[in-house]
Chain A
Amino acid sequence: MSETSDPRELTVDARDQPSSVASDVPPAQVDWIMLLSVPGRAYEDAVAQIHALQLRAARRQVSRMREAAMFGAARREEIIHSAADEATMAVLARLSSFEGRSAFTTWAYKFGILQAGNDVRRAAWRDRDINLDDIPEQRQTVAPSPEGYAEGRDLAQAVRDGLREALTPHQRRVAVAVLIDEVPIDVLAERLGINRGALYKTLHDARQRLRAFLATRDFLLPAAPRKEVTQ
C-alpha cells in the first residue's frame, strides 16, 4: 500500500483493476469524511475513488459467483458497473454511519459486494419460476442401512408433518423455497416484496417451530450447528 501518493491524483480507470495489487488502494489515512464534506474538485475526486472501490468490490464478487458463469463477459461487465453505480450512491447515503471501526475501504467494499451479489442472483433467477406451494416427498440420495433407512424415513415424515402442522403458510412457503428448493434468500425476498433480513427472521422462526415440533415427536436435535450449509 502506498503511503505517499495523493489519492486525488488517481483516476477511476487506473484503479478499476480486478487485481490484488495493494498500491491500487487509497492510503488508509485519507479523511474521506472531510473530502466529501464540501462540494468541489476534492469531492468529485473522492466520489470517483469510491466508485473505483465499488468496481473493484463488484468485480471480485462477480468473479467468485458460479451463477455469473452463465452470463457472457459483456453482461458481467454490465452488472459490475451497474452494481458499482448503485453501491457508490449507497456509500454516500450512509457516510454518516461510518464509525471508523474498520478501514474506510473495508467498510466501503461491502456495499459493492452486496449489490453485485444481489444483481447476479436476481439476473440468474429472472426467468425462473419459484414454487411456493408444495410439500416435498422424500428422496434418498444414499442407500442407508435398514436402521438408518427407518430413522431417516421417520424423520423425513416428521419434518413433512411439521411443515404442515407447525408452520404458518408464510413460514412454510419461505422454508420450502429457501431451505428445500435453495432459492437465494435475496431473490425470494424481492419476489415477495420484503427485505432479506425479514425473510431470514421468518426462516429462523420456522426452524424454531419445526425443532419444537420434532422434539414433541422425540427427535433429538443438536443444540449447536452440526455442519455447514451446502446451498
Chain B
Amino acid sequence: MTNLESLTPDAIDRLTANTEPWLSCDDCFELVDVVIEALVVSSTPFSEEFRVHLLRCPVCREEASSLAEIVAADLGFSPADAVAQIDTALSGVGA
C-alpha cells in the first residue's frame, strides 16, 4: 500500500476533526445496548459524547447500526427505520 498521494480533502477532514466531548471505544461498548434500545423504543436522542464518538469512529457506528437493526427486528420495528433513526440522532436533530 502507498499513501504518498492520498491526503484528500476527506482525509484532511478526518485528521482535523474535533472529537470532544471525549468518549472511548470501551465506554461506547458499555453504553451501546442501553443507548440504541432507548433510541429504537422511544427515540431518545444520543448524548453529545456518544453522538460525537459515533460520528468519528466508523467501526463503532457500524456495530451500533447492526445492533439497532437486530433490536428493531426483535421488537417488531423496521430495521431500516432504526438505522435511519441513528442517522437522525447523529445529525443532532431533536437533541
**Residues in A lying within 8 Å of B, measured CB to CB:** 1, 19-22, 25, 56-57, 60-61, 64-65, 101-103, 105-107, 109-110, 113-114, 117, 121, 128-131, 134, 136-142, 152, 155-156, 159-160, 163, 175-176, 179-181, 184-186, 195-197, 200-201, 203-204, 207-208, 210-211, 214, 221-231
Contacts and interface: CB of A to CB of B under 8 A. Distances in A.
Contacts of A180: 3, 6-7, 11, 14-15
Contact of A225 (B4, B52, B65, B72): B52
CB-CB nearest 4 A-B residue pairs: A20-B73, A136-B7, A102-B33, A197-B26
B18 A109 contact: no
Contacts, number: 175
A1 B74 contact: yes
Interface of B: 1-19, 22, 24-26, 29, 32-34, 36-37, 52, 55-59, 61-63, 65-67, 69-76, 79, 90
A145 to B, nearest CB: 14
Contacts of B70: 20, 56-57, 60, 109, 113
A152 B19 contact: no
A202 to B, nearest CB: 11
A228 B62 CA distance: 13
Contact of B25 (A110, A197, A214): A197
Contact of A106 (B18, B37, B55): B37
Nearest to A185: B59
A155 B4 contact: no
B23 to A, nearest CB: 9
Contact of A105 (B10, B11, B74, B76): B74
Given A224-B18, A227-B13, A110 B63 contact: yes
Nearest to B63: A113
B9 A141 contact: yes
16 contacts: A1-B74, A20-B74, A64-B65, A101-B33, A106-B37, A107-B33, A109-B70, A110-B33, A129-B1, A136-B6, A137-B7, A180-B7, A200-B25, A211-B16, A224-B18, A226-B13
